Amino acid sequence: MATDKCDLLFDFYEIAQSNGFFSEGINETVAWFDMFYRPAKELGGFCIMSGMQQFADYLKNLRFSEDELDYLRTRGIGEDFLSYLRDFRFSCDIWAVEEGTPIFANEPVVKVRGPVIQAQMLETIILQCVNHQSLIATKANRIVRAAQGREVIEFGSRRAHGISAAKGGARSAYIGGAGATTNVNAAKEYELPLFGSMNQTWVQLFDSEYEAFCAYARQFPDNCILQLDTYDTLERGLPDAIRAFNDVLVPMNKRPKGVRIDSGDLAYLSKKIRRTLNEAGFPDCNIYAANSLDEYIIRDMLQNGARIDSFLVGARLITSASHPVMAGVYKLSAVEKDGEIIPKILISDNVAKITTPYPKLLWRLFDTETGKAIADVLTMENEDLSNAASYELFDPDYTWKRKTVSNFVARQLLVKIFEGGELVYRFPTTAQIRSYCAEQIDTLWEEVVRFEYPHNYYVDLSQTLWDEKQKLIDAYMNY
């Protein structure tokens, strides 16, 4: 699959520090990093994992040209390190949560092991791919859930923050549940359903709205969606559309696909339009609506009885306008020395930023009776929950809050994507990821997925991991 070329897509400190590691002779030190995101109430109770396919495509093509090396030379990068980059071969191991999986704050969704000189350099591209695309998949899923079974069409290319954001955003919106995209490039590359209709320019180029509608119906009889609001939706657009349907489509034994409104009181207009279309003999003609929509506006319109069949959602989806940044971070968790794991921890004045050390496994426990997710658990790599008959969960912050669960299935969420620098994971099709995403959302309780004040889904630490973390905190506090 093609990918956008991203020359030198690094923050400079990643290159500079890697140069320093090389000069200090510690470049082959094996390091472990975690990527996770910090909570934000605007994102709701969970996010949806996306962006790993773009990240994998980038790594498969990671090379340094002479032009790029010449530029780095002007920035003070040493000749020995430039020689290393000239012969660069990626060799890290990478694990990640599969795309389409619901993910929660403070749990590792990408895990990297490899020479520190390489693992450090991956920070920006991991965060850019996963932060942005997970954000859009999450926003799309919120909008889809608000639409209550009605189609949502991603319509944001013209508002996206660049070409890559438009294309990757269209893919992630589809994973999150959108039914189609208007982005031709994304539809072609990722095999997404493609949506198209007319706009006001078509109407304005003809001498009358009726002539414009008739011409469009003749050109696109199997996909005839007419824009009603160029001049006056109810007094002119709708009557002219019905007349064109009767004069052009009906004699061809065709049915109109829909009408579209992009302005005015959409809920009120849709009710008037639905009644008129039904009375005219077109109850199967869908109503499409667009106009700075998001999950809250769609929910309110439906509560007010709107008769809209499909929502075209643009700017507020492709930019996740309510919360346009996903606070994903990439932190060192351990290094290896003489075959031994040396845990690393970040202790901040802001206690929410204290990291969890050690290479970890991420488990999700599912109730065997309901199929619903109970909690996620981070463990040491030598802990296996797959055959546990019971397990004691406890809040890592309020440790007296404990609960023993049984009759569950534990699933390991981190799967290997790269081994020794080679891609070993076969990505499903985008349609398969979308179906998987919908299935996984269904494993979450309604209280977890609600928009306002979602229930706190627990991401716990095993007792062993919690103890080891506390030992490190105590050691540094008493240093």
Radius of gyration in angstroms for the set of CA atoms belonging to the chain, rounded to a whole number:
26
What is the distance in angstroms between the CA of the first residue and the CA of the last residue of the chain? 51
Q: How far apart are CA 276 and CA 236, in angstroms?
A: 13
CA nearest 283: which of 256, 320, 260?
256
Q: Work out the average pLDDT over 265-291.
A: 97
What's the pLDDT score for residue 229?
Answer: 96
Q: How far apart are CA 407 and CA 289, in angstroms?
A: 46
State whether 155 and 80 are in the same domain: no
Please, what is the average pLDDT of the chain? 94
State whether 332 and 460 are in the same domain: yes
Which helix or strand (DSSP H or E) is residue 328 part of?
Answer: strand 328-337
Would you say residue 5 lies in a domain?
no
CA nearest 465: which of 383, 399, 405?
383
Predicted confidence band of residue 2 (pLDDT cuts 50, 70, 90): very low
Would you say residue 301 lies in a domain?
yes
pTM over 0.85: yes
**Where is the domain boundary, 318, 337, 357?**
318
Phi and psi at 447, nearest 5°, equal: -65, -25
Which helix or strand (DSSP H or E) is residue 472 part of?
Answer: helix 463-477
Q: Beta strands 286-290 and 258-261: pairing type? A: parallel
Would you say residue 4 lies in a domain?
no
Q: Which tokens sit at 231?
A: 């001049």
Range of the domain at 428: 12-136+324-477
SS3 assignment, position 333? strand
State whether 21 and 46 are in the same domain: yes
Would you say residue 3 lies in a domain?
no
A 10 A CB-CB count for 468 gives: 18
Would you say residue 1 lies in a domain?
no
Q: How far apart are CA 14 and CA 125, in angstroms?
A: 11
State whether 365 and 310 are in the same domain: no
State whether 197 and 165 are in the same domain: yes
* Residue 412, beta-bridge partner list: 363
pLDDT at 187 > cutoff 50? yes
The CATH number that applies at residue 157 is 3.20.20.70
State whether 126 and 165 are in the same domain: no
The string of pLDDT tens digits covering residues 153-162 is 999 999 999 9
- Looking at 163-285, which runs of residues are DSSP E strands? 180-181, 225-227, 258-261
**Count of domains for the chain:** 2
What's the pLDDT score for residue 7?
Answer: 66
State whether 124 and 150 are in the same domain: no
Whether residue 7 contacts residue 106, with contact meaning beta carbons closer than 8 Å, is answered with no
The CATH number that applies at residue 414 is 3.20.140.10
**Where is the domain boundary, 318, 342, 359?**
318
Q: How far apart are CA 105 and CA 217, in angstroms?
A: 50
Would you say residue 465 lies in a domain?
yes
State whether 63 and 144 are in the same domain: no
The string of pLDDT tens digits covering residues 392-424 is 999 888 899 999 999 999 999 999 999 999 999
State whether 125 and 179 are in the same domain: no
Q: How far apart are CA 170 and CA 165, in angstroms?
A: 8
Q: In b/e form, how buried is each residue of 225-235, taking b as 16+ CB within 10 angstroms?
A: bbbbbbeebbe
